[in-house]
Amino acid sequence: MKNSRVLVVVALVWVIASWAVEGAGECGRTPIGSVDSLAASKTPRAKVPPSCCAKVTALIRTNPRCLCAVMLSPLAARAGINPAIAIGIPKRCSIRNRPAGKRCGRYVVP
């Protein structure tokens, strides 16, 4: 079961990378690799790694819609990412200029 989750996360990163190459989807040419954010997107009390916070900060600054697209993707759901928890990562990282109050699907950024 654990190996299949790792495989799904790798597939998610691969799909996002292919979007970056082709310029398709919400992410356009934004390079991301959020494997280090996986634990923080499943458990609300998990410590968010500094590398994850740095990537989320950069993504919010350059393309905030991409973050939402990643969190709500079918591959993210298969990896066990809980969008209701993942949407709070910017707040848990203490990002000042996060899109608080904006909608991401049915979720509102805290």
Tokens of 103: 């909608």
CA 11 to the chain's CA centroid: 14
pTM above 0.85, yes or no: no
Assess whether pLDDT exceeds 50 at residue 32.
Answer: no
Closest to 107 in 3D by CA, of 80, 61, 69: 69
DSSP label of 49: P
Q: Model confidence over 37-94: pLDDT tens digits?
A: 888 888 888 899 999 899 889 888 888 888 888 888 887 888 888 889 988 999 999 9
d(C-alpha 84, C-alpha 74), whole Å? 15
103: left (phi over 0), alpha (psi -120 to 50) or beta: beta
